[in-house]
Amino acid sequence: MIGDYPGAWDGMGEPEQSVLIEIHRAVSALLEDDSESVIDVSTLPLGVADLARLEDALGQGEVEATIEAGGKSTVRETGVSGVWIVEHFSESGSVLAKTIEVCEAPTILRAHREDIEIGRDELGRRLA
């Protein structure tokens, strides 16, 4: 048991449980006042096996996307809606950065104003 969370998961080590608790708080905050959070996985004191257990516990959600923007990135929604796993890969396929994001949709997934403007202009040129 950690804090106010009695016996959260069976077979879970304390570090993974604390991360889950942090995620739980972040999801509550998102619901309460739209505040988004990001956790850099590389800064967590988790080993490969701990991380796998954590991801198992979060489960698989409805969205899975691959982004090709100056390199490959992937976005996966976990079983907890609003909790995403974002990974950026190098050319050789190794992970450059991995974050757990708590938000409606990760920034990297959304179309950005700047790009939309470029698209509109381009389309306009073709129509002209």
Smallest gap, in angstroms, from Cβ of residue 92 to other proteins?
4
H helical segments located in 1-128: 14-33, 48-58, 113-127
What is the nearest approach in angstroms of other proteins to the Cβ of residue 114? 5
Total count of residues recorded for the chain: 128
Nearer to other proteins (CB atom), residue 55 or residue 87: 87
Angle formed by the axes of helices 14-33 and 48-58, to 10°? 40
* Chain residues in the site for other proteins (CB under 8 A): 37-40, 42-43, 67, 69-71, 73, 86, 88, 90-92, 94, 96-99, 107-108, 112-115, 118
